[in-house]
Chain A
Amino acid sequence: MDVVASSSSPVAADAARETMLSIKDLRVWFELRRWGFGHAGSVRAVDGVSFDLGYGEAIAVVGESGCGKSTLMKSILGLHLPTEGQIVFEGTNVAELGSRQMQWYRSHVGYVQQDPFGALPPFMMVSRILEEPLVINGVRDKVERQERIVQALEEVKLTPVDDFLNKFPHMLSGGQQQRIVIARAMILQPRLIVADEPVSMLDASIRVEILKLMRALQEAHDLAVIYITHDLSTVRYFSERIFVMYAGQIVEKARVDDLLANPSHPYTLALLAATSDPDPENALTFKDVPPGEPPSLVHPPAGCRFHPRCSHAIAGLCDAEEPPEFEISPHHTAACWLFK
């Protein structure tokens, strides 16, 4: 399977970018209760994730449902408290913030959700939806708020602005709704945007439009973006680096070009093989899919979590010890014993 290296990927990753967000050995576990009282184990949704994110950098986190990417994202947003580990934003550990400072932190991180209609309160008009974050974060001057709302709508290309201010969400199309969600995420002028499958509920032809909008906004405002998706084919156009997650851990990190040219971890290989392009030859071949299902997050397998499904598993090693991250090339690591 040949993957052509992309020559049109966004601004080539500059290694000397200052770090904005640093995740160190993050673990987020949810307790399971039996009958509401007893302790019945923990769901280890995020189990040992570390990475750095620079200012203005766009990364993609790819994985299937249950791999922990949503929980990771929500921890970064401050919606879940880490069980262990640190989330350090501009030098401050987010987990230790009091509620006042939490608000300060949250105003620096914008959230774009998957369901455009669900993300908007159905009983509020667009102007009010965009005004809420401003009011909550202390923008007292009404005129200033109005200006910022108009500006936000212009940036997401919902013009003429007056047409949209008084509409309710159900009067807008899916694409327009998602633009409002993006506008709302941007209105506090955040440094970081976390986008959770922002286009998966939109039509195919609109997806590209919204993703391009997000990329344009990212470049214009030098925003850092964490883009969470399960669709690998969109990743190459909208991010510089890519992390592949499986069962609560990051199994491979690389620049997009490197990953597509030289995928290393067996799980990454499986994902790439399973992603189709519109190619009539597809109908003639069967895809090679690793057997089984993602593991339980309550009792993950010993050693490498992918080993029960991996055709390259080394007995005695992969089922006993958790692999650390091995460097394959600069800025390309994989957590797999094959690369020792």
Chain B
Amino acid sequence: MAQDSLLRLRDLKLYFRTTKGTVQAVDGVRFSLGHNEAVVVIGESGCGKSSLAKAVLRLLPRNVETYEGEVFLNGTDVMQLDEEAFRKQVRWVKMSLVPQAAMNALNPVLRVGDQVAEPMMVHYDVGKEEALAQAQRMFEHVGVPLDFMQRYAFELSGGMRQRVAIAMSLVTAPALIILDEPTSALDVLTQANIMNMLKRIKDEMETSFILITHDIATSSELADKVAVMYAGQIVEVSDAFQFFTEPLHPYSQKLMASVPRLRADVEPEFITGQPPSLLGLKPGCRFAPRCPMRHDRCDQDPPVYEVDGREVRCWLYEGAGTRVAAEEVARA
């Protein structure tokens, strides 16, 4: 795990103010990501994973109450940069985002080729010719025929639009791309195509990915590392191979058990209950109400333990692993 880290998140917090109270969407997230590595953040709806994407890229809405933590990009804490510097140096230059339902977020009045070229012109101050040439290269990478560059968004199918959105995130050759549910609205074959494409881009352009999804089966197509998110916190970080064969956290285990399998004869199980609301979270382990292995310790916030190079936020591993250093968990 101690490689050249491209991205390191330390105690990242993002809370929103709403009429009903404070929503603790991202509550002290930490994980790291190396070069040319893909991390999959798995979580269900309401766990805060979309907010995590926004937190990393500082795309904050107006009702932010708390936004703190450390985001180290190549060793520099970009949280310290002011808004203008962040926009010029980081956003879409070093990191970019394919948001959820990106295919619906394409500008209907611009041709798709121009839209993909736009980030180049904005961030690198190049002329239209050069930007379009770069856009063309991206279209090739994502597998969309070049004559589609002249078309408008509504003329393309869902799968094509998603590829265009990915091309837009790639055009400035960032080191890291965050994708939020990139395939959830797409058909099976299109999904497979997109995952193939992401794998190819990872090989060819050596990009790192953070893939946020609730689809565990699809996530295994790209993952080098898996992070499981529950109620605003990361409860497990594992190497992919170890995760899919032997998940550690009880929630991870239940998640894996709930996936219907085509190729194995195992009837899937469901998890009783519901995830807690991100409003008014109580102390203690947030999964405890639904956990079959709940015990008295669980009334207190479990710390993160390191076990065989993996990290788990669960009291069950108290003896098995070493506690992750306190300074990384608590911030005054």
Direct contact of A and B (CB under 8 A): yes
Q: Which A residues are within 8 Å of any B CB, using their own CB?
A: 1-8, 64-65, 173-175, 203-209, 212, 230-234, 236-237, 260, 270-280, 282-283, 286-287, 289-290, 293
B265 neighbours in A (Cβ, 8 Å): 4-8
Chain B residue at minimal CB-CB distance from A238: B260
Which of B1-9, B266-274, B295-303, B315-323 is found at the contact surface with chain A? B266-274
Chain B window 29-48, contacts with chain A (Cβ cutoff 8 Å), 1 for yes, 0 for no: 00000000010000011000
A270:B220 contact, CB within 8 angstroms: no
CA distance A290 to B274 in the complex (A): 39
User: 5 interchain pairs (CB within 8 A)?
Assistant: A4-B264, A205-B270, A231-B188, A236-B262, A237-B260
B220 touches A279 (CB 8 A): yes
B254 within 8 A of A: yes
Contact B188 A283 (CB under 8 A): no
Interchain CB contact (< 8 A) of A205 among B38, B158, B189, B271 = B271
A290: B residues at CB distance < 8 A: 189
State whether A234 and B260 are in contact (beta carbons under 8 Å apart), knowing that A7-B265, A293-B159 are contacts in the complex: yes
Q: A207-B270, A208-B268, A276-B221 are in contact. List 19 more A-B contacts (CB 8 A).
A: A4-B265, A6-B265, A204-B216, A204-B258, A205-B44, A205-B258, A230-B187, A233-B259, A237-B267, A270-B189, A275-B188, A276-B217, A276-B220, A277-B264, A280-B241, A283-B199, A283-B221, A283-B222, A289-B193
Closest to B186 in A: A65
Query: In the complex the two chains form, is A276's CB within 8 Å of B218's CB?
Result: yes
Cβ–Cβ < 8 Å partners of B263 in chain A: 1-4, 277
Kindly state the separation between the CA atoms of A187 and B271 in the bound complex, as whole angstroms.
Answer: 27
CA of A104 to CA of B195 in the docked complex: distance in angstroms? 47
| Bound complex: CA A293 to CA B161 (Å) | 13
**Which B residues are closer than 8 A to A by beta carbons?**
38, 44-45, 157-159, 187-193, 195-196, 199-200, 214-224, 240-241, 243-245, 254-256, 258-265, 267-271, 274
Please report the number of residue pairs spanning A and B whose Cβ atoms sit closer than 8 angstroms.
131
CB distance B188 to A230 under 8 Å? yes
- Inter-chain contact B224/A283, CB cutoff 8 Å: yes
Given A236-B262, A276-B220, A289-B189: A283 touches B240 (CB 8 Å cut-off): yes
Question: Per a CB cutoff under 8 Å, which of B187, B220, B256 touches A283?
Answer: B220
Question: Judging by beta carbons under 8 Å apart, are B269 and A208 in contact?
Answer: yes
Instruction: Enumerate chain B residues within 8 angstroms of A6, measured Cβ to Cβ.
Output: 265
Q: Are B192 and A8 interface neighbours, CB within 8 A?
A: no
Asked whether A205 lies within 8 Å of B254 as measured between CB atoms, the reply is yes
Specify which of A64, A205, A260, A287 is in contact with B262 (CB 8 Å cutoff).
Answer: A260
Contact of A271 among B189, B193, B274 (CB under 8 A): B189
Which residue, of A209, A260, A275, A278, has the highest number of chain B Cβ atoms within 10 A?
Answer: A278
Known contacts A212-B270, A287-B196; decide if A203 and B214 are in contact (CB<8 Å). Answer: yes
A206 CB → nearest B CB, Å: 7
Contact A277 B262 (CB under 8 A): yes
Take A6-B265, A209-B270 as given contacts and tell me if A280 and B220 are in contact as well, using a CB distance cutoff of 8 Å: yes
Once A234-B260, A277-B259, A280-B244 are accepted as A-B contacts, the answer to whether A204 and B220 lie under 8 Å apart by CB is: no
Bound-complex Cα distance A230 to B158 (A): 15
| A204 B189 Cβ-Cβ under 8 A | no
Contacts of B193 in A (CB 8 A): 289
10 closest A-B pairs (Cβ-Cβ)? A274-B192, A209-B270, A64-B187, A208-B270, A205-B271, A276-B217, A203-B44, A233-B260, A233-B262, A280-B241
Report the bound CA distance from A206 to B215 in whole Å: 13
The answer on a CB contact under 8 Å between B221 and A206 is no
What is the chain A residue whose CB lies nearest that of B262? A233
**B261–A277 contact, CB under 8 A?**
yes
Q: Which residue of A lies closest to B242 (CB)?
A: A280
Instruction: Say yes or no: B268 contacts A282, CB within 8 Å.
Output: no
Docked complex Cα distance between A282 and B157 (Å)? 26
Chain A residue at smallest Cβ distance from B222: A283
CB atoms of A208 and B223 under 8 A apart: no
Q: Would you give the shortest CB distance from B61 to chain A, in whole angstroms?
A: 21
Is the pair B223, A204 in contact by a Cβ cutoff of 8 Å?
no
Q: Name the residue of chain A whose CB is nearest to the CB of B266.
A: A8
Q: Are A278 and B267 in contact, CB atoms less than 8 angstroms apart?
A: no
Residues in B whose Cβ lies below 8 Å from that of A204: 44, 214-216, 255, 258-259
Question: A275 near B245 (CB under 8 angstroms)?
Answer: no
